[in-house]
Structure 1
Amino acid sequence: MHLSATGPGPRVLHVTQPVDGGVARVVTDLARAQLADGWQVSVACPRGPLAAGLRRLGADVRHWDASRSPGAGLADEVRRLARLTADVRPELVHAHSAKAGLAGRLAVRGRIPTVFQPHAWSFEAVDGTTARLALRWERWGARWATRVVCVSEAERARGVRAGVAGRWRVIPNGVETQRFRPAAVDSVRAGLLPGTDPRAPLVVCVGRLCRQKGQDVLLAAWETVARRVPGARLVFVGDGPDRERLARSAPPSVLFAGAVADTVPWYQAADLVVLPSRWEGMALAPLEAMACGRPVVVTDVGGARESLPSALASRCLVPPDHPGVLAAAVTGLLVDPPLRASLGHQGRGHVLDTHDVRHTARAVTGLYRELLGHRTAVSSTEYRESIHS
């Protein structure tokens, strides 16, 4: 297929079940870049803010009602996705995350180029029999992925160790460096936390409130931090299934901002951003924080080490599920403003050099072109027969 720069570009169908958090931001960033580059972009996803935002960008959004986890409705979800795919007639399918990766590969079964991007492996999110089933599926389903895109070398290596025989491509996550940028702390903080002491140390944790993100570990560490840094405050930005449980055990110095339309001001207002995840592929929150010139403390999981410059990796990585170590790292940075400023400056430069979303989008589009370069166009009837056979 000749990919002309003058006529309509090829059509890609993104499939996603998550409609918030990092996966939604990745899909939005890719759709925006691909539309600007002349691609025809369709997205299959549940209704919600993600769908509305993609429509505003000009994407062709198709409603695909799917639950977050596999269940009794999976077969019907796969059938509906197969019909949707046949109607859209994409030249390539890009499935994001475990659930969409499962349904998308079952619906297409390798009949057209299929990119699967796990955004952290499904078998790390569960235990026992469920984890064994998830691992068995990932090993089996790899045959129906033309490429498996990992956001870090660590994520790829985890898949290899687990026995997933993928055809790999590592494309690190990126962020919008013009949107995520430094700002004066005092002015931003006054708008977010009116009536509070603007000089009080502020720690911000951005992410879905769930076991993966480890907010319970940060809460366990916070008692020590608050004792050693009087007046310090912690804000959780985001919502999720663990909110009620976390709020019950939180002291008055901990605030819950809930889901917000724009996380940028919270990064800009922070003295320190913390992400105590138990597993990741390569989390966006530390990249976004560094792009805003803020230092970070993150757990040494997934692609965390790859996402940081060496100066931050040596000071700002802590082991997961260790509240005492986390408390020491957070405290050490809160009491050292010059060090925070230095690390924030280095982090911003690192993101500009290596994690600009434009680099990520170009790499993904380059992969698409590589996969489509050898294909020839098919008629509508031939396509429908192929996808349903």
Structure 2
Amino acid sequence: MPPSSPGPRPRVLHLTQPVDGGVARVVTDLVRAQLADGLHVTVACPDSALSAKLRALGAHVRHWHAARSPGPSLVREVRHLALLIDEVRPDLVHAHSSKAGLAGRLAVRGRIPTVFQPHAWSFEAVGGATGSLALRWERWGARWAARVLCVSEAERATGVRAGIAGRWVVVPNGIDPGRFHPAAAGAVRAGLAQLAGLPAAAPLAVCVGRLCRQKGQDVLLRAWDAVVREVPDARLVLVGDGPDHNRLREGAPASVLFTGAVADASPWYQAADLVVLPSRWEGMALAPLEAMACGRPVVVTDVDGARESLPSSFAARCLVPPDDPVVLAGAVTQLLLDPPLREALGTQARRHVLSAHDVRHTAEAVARCYRDLLGTWPATGRARRSRAVECAETNQTTQRVASTEHREPNPS
């Protein structure tokens, strides 16, 4: 039973591999909030842009040399992690995604309260013998997680159906609505060098995500031929990099632009008329939340977390089956041809994210999970002030949206 009286502020160790994409953004947001709350935060991850960003926030960062996928180096990686844990002496370990979840639980084996956050299940990513092995591990490894933190009820349900006996907590993903906000598309396009020469009125669809099988850009490219037959001047931008870059680019039509990796995707959301994410599996994708915070409508595949991330009124127009380029093309075409509908959906989308997916709500829910395991801890003066300011800002933002949302820049 956790202690009932306040004690020293906890020492939290986050473990993460991968160090890019949505997992990195979630870790960054949590670390920022936990530092503001006065926690002693350390992150173990491979040297990367993420580790530099976390140090700049004030976190302690320890180098953990780990490959993205399990392999022959796993034994060495677990031993290295065990040594790091002995040195850091955390009160709680929070392991992110399948690789860090595997190595972290093997290193800790329940000796320290451990939160495992899958960020989509590993056994969905692979098939055959590898998929069966991943599933057996998740069933076995659940015993070493004090909590399994899912980002959607659908992700939790997938784990339950797979026979994972976890002690579940569901905390929906959140984003920063101050960073991701509406802007006039025309002005933003003018500032993006990659869009030089694009007619101002050209319908623009954007897909933000790692170029890999999970994100389904290959399905979107198969759908795109049908889209441009109906909307000949339409353009598609794939924002991101990844192992499928060369394969996707080969044979892509001239109407498709590849940006490569970008430091900040928000201008691309703001420049878009429509944001598309045709994933094959997710826990709850961040890209649609970020796009909606920018006042843009989205088309997403009906995978884990998608329905929960959207306003209920979006289901008929904005949810499509995974791996179905025909239905995907129809949904994209319909929205590209209907600017008033896009504007109405974009306004609803922004309002929905403000109410249901603000990252501050996410961070507080994770903190409640920690307190359930560790008991309470004294807040710093900075943290007390931060929470008071957040409450005031939330009230002000809600009032401002209610009174001015009809004056937000036209998403078209």
TM-score band by shorter chain is: over 0.9
Supply the distance in 2 between the matched residues of 1:352 and 1:29 (Cα, whole angstroms): 16
Deviation at 1:279, TM superposition (A): 0.3
Q: Contact (CA 8 Å) 1:283, 1:303: kept in 2 or not? A: yes
Q: 1:194 aligns with which of 190, 193, 196?
A: 196
Aligned mates of 1:10, 1:35 — CA distance in 2: 11
> 2:274 — aligned with what?
272
Query: Residues 139 and 165 of structure 1 are in contact (CA less than 8 Å); yes or no, is this contact kept in structure 2?
Result: yes
Instruction: Give how far 1:2 is off.
Output: 6.8
Shift of 1:9: 1.9
> What are structure 1's unaligned runs of at least 5 residues?
376-389
Q: State the distance in 2 between where 1:315 and 1:209 align.
A: 25
Report the counterpart of residue 293 of structure 1 in structure 2.
295
Give the Å deviation of 1:3.
7.2
Aligned residue number for residue 283 of structure 1 = 285
Q: Deviations over 1:34-76 (max 9, x none)?
A: 0011011100000110000000000000000100111000000
Write the distance in 1 (CA, Å) between the matches of 2:202 and 2:47.
40
Partner of 1:37: 37
The letter for the 1-side match of 2:26 is V
Identity %: 75
Amino acid at match of 1:172: P
SS of 2:130's partner is helix
The answer to whether the 8 A contact 2:5-2:376 is kept is no
Contact 2:293 2:354 in 1 (8 A): yes
Checking the alignment, whether the CA contact within 8 Å between 1:182 and 1:293 is kept in structure 2 is yes
Give the structure 2 partner of residue 241 of structure 1. 243
Distance apart, 1:374 and its partner CA: 8.9
Tell me if the contact between 2:206 and 2:275 (Cα under 8 Å) persists in the aligned partners. Answer: yes
Q: What is the number of equivalent residue pairs in this alignment?
A: 373
| 8 Å Cα contact 2:117-2:150 kept in structure 1 | yes
2:111 matched residue in structure 1: 111
Equivalent AA in structure 2 for residue 104 of structure 1: G
Deviation string, structure 1 residues 128-177 (Cα, Å, up to 9, x no partner): 00000000000000000000000001000000000000000000000001
Alignment-mate amino acid for residue 29 of structure 2:
D
TM-score normalized by the length of structure 2: 0.89
Matches of 1:234 and 1:335, distance apart in 2: 14
1:217 pairs with 2:223: no
**Residue type of the alignment partner of 1:334:** L
Residue-by-residue CA offset, 1:185-226 (whole Å, 9 max, x unaligned): 111011111222111000000000000000000000000101
Structure 2 distance, partners of 1:186, 1:360, is: 32
Q: Is the 8 A contact 1:16 1:45 kept in 2?
A: yes
The ranges of structure 1 where at least 4 consecutive aligned residues each deviate by more than 4 angstroms after the TM superposition are 1-4
Structure 2 partner of 1:88: 88
1:328 match: secondary structure: helix
TM-aligned CA deviation for residue 315 of structure 1 = 1.2
* Structure-1 residue corresponding to 2:65: 65
- TM-score when normalising by structure 1: 0.94
> Which position in structure 2 is the counterpart of 1:232?
234
Report the Cα distance in structure 2 between the residues aligned to 1:301 and 1:367, rounded to whole angstroms. Answer: 26
SS in 2 for 1:251: coil
Q: Report SS of the residue matched to 1:126.
A: coil
User: How many angstroms does 1:313 deviate by?
Assistant: 1.8
8 Å contact kept, 1:149–1:171: yes
Aligned equivalents of 2:51 and 2:207: distance in 1?
Answer: 26
Question: Unpaired runs of 5+ in structure 2?
Answer: 378-412
Paired residues of 2:150 and 2:156 also in contact (CA < 8 A): yes
Q: Is the 8 A contact 1:151 1:173 kept in 2?
A: yes
Q: Which residue number corresponds to residue 307 of structure 2?
A: 305
Separation in structure 2 between the aligned mates of residue 319 and residue 3 of structure 1, nearest angstrom: 50
The separation in 1 between residues aligned to 2:282 and 2:130, in whole angstroms, is 19
Give 1:314 shift: 2.2
| Paired residue type of 1:116 | F
Structure 2 match to 1:175: 175
SS at match of 2:191: helix
CA contact (8 A) 1:311 1:343 kept: no
Equivalent in the alignment of 2:381: none
* Cα shift at 1:249: 2.2
1:190 counterpart letter in structure 2: A
SS at the partner of 2:348? helix
Q: Distance in 2 between matches of 1:374 and 1:351?
A: 29
SS in 2 for 1:131: helix
Aligned to 2:162: 162
State the alpha-carbon separation in 2 of the partners of residues 374 and 271 from structure 1.
Answer: 46
1:120 and 2:115 equivalent? no
Using the alignment, how far apart are the partners of 1:331 and 1:206 within structure 2? Answer: 18
CA RMSD of aligned residues (A): 1.2
Change (3 A) 1:270 1:374: closer
